Structure 1
């Protein structure tokens, strides 16, 4: 496990798993939100994102957390040796995202984009959760289905499976 792509809907625990795996396997961690957004929720240009993303993929070791632009996902999956898809039921994603947003009232997300307060984006986040579940999820399922033979695919479908994964791979 040296090139790991973690993807899934918002509020599913991706960033927490990413931090734990990065520590357990001594991997440099790259949250896509930090590449995709500049302070004040200003999006990075497609070219700027692509250059940064390609530079990360060219490294020998990495763990990448999140989506980024859809056109970059397949390249990331092809370079990864391990793909982790956090795919809880939709209501779990909403509930956990709401709890995270409330925590952001008091402290910023440690892996969130710098200068981008989370609370004002709550309604946009909830709309994104819906869209990712109904449009992004089928796309990811098709991609990982085609990579079953060549990659280690870990499909986490519930909070219980997430806890078991963390216990198995991240226990120190």
Structure 2
């Protein structure tokens, strides 16, 4: 399962629920891409790491990273695209900041809020979401693609997918 969407959209929360339901660990692409000092993994190594991750029989990966999204889409059976409003995502990162007080969390998720991150979130639906939709159309294959536009819809979908995974 590939869980994609804007920062603060709830990828980790939905991904964790689905990983638990199918009995696997969730992989956070931020934890694969950045080290403890915010150094980035070279693009070729990042792509190779994702090829390795999706070669497993069962996986849940959360993260956007459009440049390598085709790797995940080619092997995904399900894709959850959290296409939430900017205000909702900004509220999500504010809540995360209050809960964890910044830095890297023990689950590998980074809480680094910069002005460029805020402007990225604000413009995500206008600038990035169309690119994600095009990648889904081009590389999604036979995956079941679920696009949700609210937290309530995301929770309903996660509950439905949890039930389906357990039966």
Residue in structure 2 matching 1:161, options 138, 153, 157: 153
What residue is the counterpart of 1:112 in the other structure? 108
**Number of the residue aligned with 1:127:** 119
Task: Tell me the SS of whatever aligns to 2:9.
Answer: coil
> Corresponding residue for 1:77?
73
Unpaired segments ≥5 residues, structure 1? none
Distance 1:34 1:58 in 2: 19
Instruction: Give the Cα separation in 1 of the matches to 2:79 and 2:137.
Output: 11
Asked whether 1:54 is paired with 2:46, we answer no
- Rounded Cα–Cα distance in structure 2 between residues aligned with 1:25 and 1:65: 15
Deviation at 1:131, TM superposition (A): 4.1
- The answer to whether structure 1 residue 19 and structure 2 residue 13 are counterparts is no
Kindly tell me: are residues 35 and 154 of structure 1, through their superposed partners in 2, closer, same or farther at Cα, counting changes over 3 Å? same
State the shift of 1:60 in Å.
1.5
- CA change 1:133–1:109 in 2 (3 A) is farther
Does the aligned pair in 1 maintain the 2:50–2:71 contact within 8 Å? no
Please report the RMSD computed on the Cα atoms of aligned residues, expressed in angstroms. 2.3
Cα deviation code 1:18-65 (max 9, x no counterpart):
111101111232110011101111111112212211111222211110
Using the size of structure 1 for normalisation, the TM-score is: 0.83
Map of 2:93 onto structure 1: 97
For structure 2, list consecutive stretches of 5 or more residues without a partner in the other structure. Answer: none
Please give the alpha-carbon distance, in whole angstroms, between the structure 1 residues aligned to 2:102 and 2:116: 20
- Give the SS at the match of 1:144: helix
